[in-house]
Structure 1
Amino acid sequence: MRYCLIALLLFWPARHAGAADLPRAIEAAKRSVVGIGSFQKLRSPAINFVGTGFVVGDGLSVITAAHVIQDLQNAERNETLGVLIPMGESAQFRAASVVAIDREHDLAQLRIAGAPLPAMQLGDSAAVAEGRALAFTGFPLGMLLGLHHVTHRGMVSSITPVAMPSSSSRKLDVKLVGQLQRSPYAVFQLDGTAYPGNSGSPLYDPDSGQVYGVINMVYVKGLKEAAIATPSGITYAIPSNFIRELLRPR
């Protein structure tokens, strides 16, 4: 019995390391996670929030989901695309330009000016296996709750073929599920709950803080309003190795 007790005590810290490191990982991630939105001087409010992004590389590159910015690329609206940096109860707006878009994998790279922000490191998504516990930080419901970081945890329930969101919706609905068997690449299916505004959030390891994916859609039962009222608890993320391809010099 004594030897069994010793073995249990030796195993205990390793099993709970992730729980201890998560608060530190969250604090680090919050310095890199930004809102994605637009600015229009004559509009009220002038700033419009549409999704989440996170900083990588030299601190001036921001990754988000391509569908987050697709409606903001209409020059006729005289809107300025940019990122929102939370500063207490307010936010600093920084104009951004679109550097690259990968619509197939629902990824976009933005470039901001000014002082670099803390960057997140990319992990090798090919090393992620089903059952791995990860976290994602973003701005669910955006301006409705204020620009305050919110973190959710989720296990990789499955590595499954993807169904991309349509141009008129940011969520996966029942009709798009039929595309799963015809899709050319795999994504992470999580048992964590994401909400509108979470698209573009980094999916990261709670120990190292390395990014392994980008939240891009949730499974919606029924109408899109159900994503808030009765969330399915099924969320999808694009693996981070597609980000590496997006960032590769051309």
Structure 2
Amino acid sequence: MLQRIKPAIVAVGTVMPTRNPRAVFLGTGFAIADGRQIITNAHVVGKELDAAHLEQFAVFFRQDEREHMLIADLTAIDQEHDLAILRLQDGKLPALEIGDSGRVKEGQLFAFTGYPIGMVLGLYPVTHRSIISAISPNAIPVIASRQLNVKMIKKLATPYEVFQLDATAYPGNSGSPLYDIDSGKVVGIINKVFVQGSKENALSNPSGISYAIPSEHIKQLLNQKSIQ
């Protein structure tokens, strides 16, 4: 199954001709739909590009024992569910199939593949196995009002369910696919920073628990396909 998954996984970042290094890693993404669409987290591509110095979004991957880079444009974003779609200007990659996240149950075993510490160890995606520890709202009530902030209040008003995982994901894993080990169908997308900040806002020492956004929101964004 990994032979089918890995070719779709990319490192997401930016490239700028005058910068040293030219390439900067921001997170993980993976190909969907026609293979030219790359899904990742909105916070991964949230930085403002330095247009004056020709900075562009790009994806990086290893194929045929060589490292490749493709320029991409940001074409859709969903801030509420922290999702974004990049479209490759040229070329395409093997796409992963989006599964039905509504069928996911607690205790089921899945896997996720991405770049936990960026491109430090080269473009070699790392895979972890994990069970669904819980399915719960993306924000939980805080103990005291002083712990509230604007983002937390908004999430408490319009919560949605996320998958809690028993495996440790790192910031570089943001945007990694969570998929069925047998079929390879994607049921979620790893979100290390955005959701953890919501659910663990009340903790002085975050637990290191990882989360994933259900894939139903990826399908919705593909159907909308517009900058919001």
TM-score (norm 2): 0.83
Measure, in 1, the Cα distance between the counterparts of 2:50 and 2:79: 17
Measure, in 2, the Cα distance between the counterparts of 1:205 and 1:190: 14
> Residue 63 of structure 1: CA displacement?
0.3
> Residue 116 of structure 1: CA displacement?
2.2
Matched to 2:55, the amino acid is: E
The C-alpha deviation readout for 1:198-239, integer Å capped at 9, x for no partner, is 0000000000000000001254889xxx88xxxx44101110
Is the contact made by 1:72 and 1:79 (CA closer than 8 Å) also made in structure 2? no
SS at match of 1:86: strand
In structure 2, the residue matched to 1:45 is 21
Measure, in 1, the Cα distance between the counterparts of 2:84 and 2:113: 18
Measure, in 2, the Cα distance between the counterparts of 1:32 and 1:122: 13
Range with greater deviation from structure 2 (64-73 or 128-137): 64-73
In structure 1, the residue matched to 2:33 is 57
SS at match of 1:104: coil
Partner of residue 235 from structure 1, selected from 191, 207, 210: 210
Structure 1 residue 208 corresponds to structure 2 residue 183: yes
Measure, in 1, the Cα distance between the counterparts of 2:68 and 2:80: 31
Partner of residue 144 from structure 1, selected from 96, 120, 129: 120
Measure, in 2, the Cα distance between the counterparts of 1:85 and 1:243: 22
Question: How many residues get paired?
Answer: 210
**What is the alpha-carbon root mean square deviation over aligned residues?**
2.7
Which structure is higher in helix share? 1
Identity value in percent: 47
Measure, in 1, the Cα distance between the counterparts of 2:182 and 2:42: 28
In structure 2, the residue matched to 1:113 is 89
Moved over 6 A (4+): 174-180
SS at match of 1:69: coil
CA distance 1:181–1:115, change in 2 (3 Å): closer
Partner of residue 165 from structure 2, selected from 170, 185, 190: 190
SS at match of 1:109: strand
In structure 1, the residue matched to 2:45 is 69
Is the contact made by 1:153 and 1:192 (CA closer than 8 Å) also made in structure 2? yes
TM-score (norm 1): 0.76
Return the index of the structure with the highest Cα Rg: 1
Matched to 2:80, the amino acid is: E
> Residue 73 of structure 1: CA displacement?
3.9
> Residue 85 of structure 1: CA displacement?
1.7
SS at match of 1:217: coil
Q: Give unpaired runs (5+ residues) of structure 1.
A: 1-24, 165-173
Measure, in 2, the Cα distance between the counterparts of 1:102 and 1:90: 33
